[in-house]
Amino acid sequence: MPHDHHDHLSPSGHPYRSDDDHPLTYWQTMEIAVRELLIEKGVTTASDIAKQIDAMDARNPAMGAQVVARYWTDPAFAAALLADGAQATREMGFDIGPMKLIALPNAPDLHNIVVCTLCSCYPRNLLGLPPDWYKSRAYRSRTVREPRKVLAEFGVTLADGTEVRVHDSTADMRYIVIPNRPAGTEGWDAEALAALVTRDSMIGTGIARTP
């Protein structure tokens, strides 16, 4: 394998949930069984599974941050992203598979926030796997009813007169919030701007960093 999945710390510095030195669980046993049966039946191969894991690990919020930074700096791209989010993202060179994407630009008087109340739909092919809280019962239950309280828990306070718009990702589309470009970044290039774009700012539970 190209890299070792058994490291104690991930690239993000979080510990991996240990799985090699705890008693084997029923569901882990099922995972091994399903995997081995699929390989024996020729449905997939160990190599394809490893490649799929590596492909998913390679997807991360930095990819979305590049999309946002380009939106801020390239008006033609911004128009293309709003017209067809998936196509514009692919043309930037990102392999997002069959994902359908809608970009949701914030405005001085509009703040977008994304939730999936029915499951955990997330633009995983662009941003990687969702954070644990995104999948939690609390986030999924409360965001559609009291988004401002949820935002406050994430430390986001909005200017008076700002409309909050919640997007419940109920079906086929996936969403990326385009946060407002921070003040004081006039003349910055896309690479410098991308460093200000956090994962949470693209879900709507955060805003872009200020320089």
Partner 1 sequence: MQRVRVRADMPPGHVRTPTYLRGKTGLTERVLGPFPNPEELAYRHKGAALPLHRVRFRMGDLWGDAAETPDDTLEAEIYAHWLELADAP
Partner 2 sequence: MGGDAAGPVPTDQHDFALWEKRVDALMVLCSGKGLFTVDGLRRVLEDMGENSFETMTYYERWIASVNQNLIEAGAYTTAELAAKMSQIKARGDTYGEASDAAR
190 sits near partner 1 (criterion: CB under 8 A): no
Among 169, 198, 201, 205, binds partner 1 (CB under 8 A): 169
Helix or strand (DSSP H, E) at 105: strand 100-105
Q: Are the beta carbons of 175 and 169 closer than 8 angstroms?
A: yes
Q: How far is the CB of 152 from partner 1 (least distance, A)?
A: 11
Among 58, 118, 138, 192, binds partner 1 (CB under 8 A): 118
107 sits near partner 2 (criterion: CB under 8 A): no
Calpha distance 118→139 (Å, rounded): 12
Q: Are the beta carbons of 140 and 112 closer than 8 angstroms?
A: no
| Contact partner, 47, from partner 2, partner 1, none, Cβ < 5-8 Å per class | none
- Exposed e or buried b per residue across 181-194, where buried means at least 16 C-beta atoms within 10 angstroms of its C-beta: bbeebeebebeebb
Whether residue 136 lies in the annotated active site: no
2 sits near partner 2 (criterion: CB under 8 A): no
| Contact partner, 82, from partner 2, partner 1, none, Cβ < 5-8 Å per class | none
Paired with 103 in beta bridges are: 176
| Contact partner, 79, from partner 1, partner 2, none, Cβ < 5-8 Å per class | none
Q: Which residues are catalytic?
A: 116, 119-121
